[in-house]
Amino acid sequence: MQAALTVQGKLGNFDLTYAFAHLKRDVDGESDYSDYGFWYDTLLGYGAYFYDDNGDFINPAQYIQAKDEYKKTSHELRISTPQDNRWRLVAGLFWQNQFHDIQQRYRVDGLAEVLSVRGWEDTIWPTKQERRDNDRAVFGEFSFDFTDALTGTVGFRHFRADNSLKGFFGFSDGYLSQSTDPPERLYGQAACNYLYGTDQTQWQPFNGAPCKIFDKDVDESGTLGKANLTYKLSDTKLIYGTWSEGYRPGGINRRGTLPPYLADYLTNIEFGWKTSWLENRLRFNGAVFSQDWEDFQFAVLGQNGLTEIRNANQARIRGMELDMSWAATYNLKLSAGLGVYDAELTENYCGAIDPSGNPITVCDADDLQSPKGTRLPVTADAKGNLTARYTFDIGQYEAYWQGAYVYEGKRSSDLRTRENDILGDLPSYQMFDFSIGVRRNSWSVDLYVKNVFDENAQYSRFTQCNENVCGNGPGAPVPSRFTDGQVYSIAAQPRTIGIKFSQEF
């Protein structure tokens, strides 16, 4: 269910706006997870731990049954002065509550009861958690026209974020006792034994899970700023300079025994232009920018195949983005875009944090995961696009043909050097789409070909468990008959030919 409401009114000469939005969504999913069991069995012999109630070995292949419940409610109240004033003010309040009920069952058919987590048949590992995110903010922006051509703007946003996660995750104590772990790192039923005692009747169940093994909260606040100057060179051309700050809140990892991850902050300095030429037939916009990214968050595949959010200390992104649209003739329109980027770490990433949760940047070579100067993952040096569209009439029909070209350069898969060597870089690619169609009155027919040359354009690469196991990375105990591992790629849609009919009512 999704609903939204906007109410607009007047308070004297001021405009008053209230916006409400609500979302409720339930998602059921089922996915294969057999790679995880296969590689740990092949390389480490974990298949010996999977048997049925008769003690006979069973297929250790796993699959995931997931149920997710999402709720999100937001409110925004803002007041603004008339837009024709020489000075203009916008101010407001924002608050948002989000809830996520997480349930994932990692199932192995026929699994012995002693190996299954209490109350979860054939389940080697359940995740049953509740996440809540509460965000509050007050914001304001003031603009002043120094002249008819020069406008200045300053703004701020003060925020407070309260994010929490609680629940259960892990194995049964019949499968893995974890007796060697420090208490604060215990998980699964071993943690229930430690927290509530070995008498299971004394455990405190959590939403159907054996117990609640963690309950963590992150509360943070801060103030962000913005300043902008815009100068109109003419009615069709302007230049601007902007300094601005942004952030993403920190939070608790799904593996709740890990330390929380920090909020990350981005500071942007940008100079740009918006122009039109040739009696508005040619539009040319662009910007050059430099961004400093502090404690930036990124995801890795951690122990037991759980995604972990970590912080790296500092990165910098410098670049330029251009876009153009040109009505070359009455019938032919051309558009193009180009982005050039230099994105790299400006501090070492050692994979560890200090007692305050800040990333450590000085470490021995053996502990160094990404040296200063490492390029940020999934970020090409350059990417661009070009589109040509030609329209014409055939009798009483409106017809067109269109071609579109996209290019993206080579990219790394992972920030960490060792893991990126396992996954491999994402190669550059070029893709071309073509379509032709006709329209009359309220209906149209289009014939299209996507990815005309069937390019294997890869957007990302991943493994289903730790790269050093499922990817057979350096140092893994790999039998000689398994040398390539199993690295997956998310690729573009292959060549697709289709016909689309549309009717407006």
Can you tell me the distance from the alpha carbon of 414 to that of 379, in angstroms, rounded to the nearest whole number? Answer: 10
Confidence at residue 483, expressed as pLDDT on a 0 to 100 scale: 56
Residue 36 has pLDDT above 90, yes or no: no
Over residues 428-452, the pLDDT tens digits come to 999 999 999 999 999 999 999 999 9
Name 413's Cβ contacts closer than 8 Å, sequence gap at least 6. 377, 378, 419, 420, 423, 424, 425, 426, 460, 461
Find the mean pLDDT for residues 382-398.
96
Could you tell me the pLDDT band of residue 477, with boundaries at 50, 70 and 90?
low
Residue 178 has a pLDDT of 53
Confidence of residue 43 (pLDDT cuts 50, 70, 90): confident
What is the rounded CA–CA span in Å between residue 253 and residue 479?
34
**Helix extents (H) in 293-426:** 417-423
Mean pLDDT of 70-75: 98
The C-alpha torsion from 368 through 371 and 372 to 376, rounded to 10°, is -120
| 486-to-46, 411, 423, 469 alpha-carbon distances in Å | 18, 20, 9, 9
The pLDDT mean for the chain works out to 93
Residues 17-47 as b or e (16 or more Cβ within 10 Å = b): eebeeeeeeeeeeeeebebbbbbbbbbeeeb
Q: Which structure tokens are listed for 170?
A: 């892990």
> How many CA atoms are closer than 13 Å to the CA of 420, on its beta-carbon side?
17
Q: What is the pTM of this model?
A: 0.88
Return the percent helix, strand and coil in the chain, to nearest 5: 10, 55, 35
Compute the distance between CA of residue 173 and CA of residue 200 in angstroms, rounded to an integer: 12
**Which fold, 2-423+452-492?**
Maltoporin; Chain A (2.40.170)
Percent of the chain residues past pLDDT 90, beyond the cut: 81
Judged against a pLDDT cut of 80, whether residue 497 lies above it is answered with yes
Give the residue-averaged pLDDT of 57-62. 92
Q: Is the pLDDT of residue 151 over 60?
A: yes
Q: How confident is the model at residue 476 (pLDDT cuts 50, 70, 90)?
A: low
Q: In the prediction, which pLDDT does 162 show?
A: 95
Q: Is the pLDDT of residue 481 over 70?
A: no
pLDDT digits (tens, 9 = 90+) for 173-218: 877 655 556 677 789 999 999 999 989 889 999 999 999 999 999 9
* Residue 316: closest CA among 346, 288, 358: 346
Name which of 281, 385, 279, 389 is nearest 334 in CA terms: 389
Identify which has the larger pLDDT, 249 or 482: 249
Greater model confidence, 130 or 313: 130
Question: What per-residue confidence (pLDDT) applies to 464?
Answer: 86
Confidence of residue 313 (pLDDT cuts 50, 70, 90): confident
Range of weakest confidence among 136-140, 222-226, 413-417, 464-468? 464-468
The pLDDT score that the predictor gives to residue 174 is 78
Dihedral sign (CA 123, 127, 129, 131): negative
Q: What's the DSSP call for residue 251?
A: B
Confidence band (pLDDT; 50, 70, 90) for 480?
A: very low
Categorize the per-residue pLDDT at 356 as very low, low, confident or very high, splitting at 50, 70 and 90.
Answer: confident
CA distances from 191 to 50, 142, 213 (A): 22, 53, 6
Most confident of 48-52, 354-358, 496-500: 496-500
Confidence of residue 350 (pLDDT cuts 50, 70, 90): very high
Ranges of each domain in the chain = 2-423+452-492
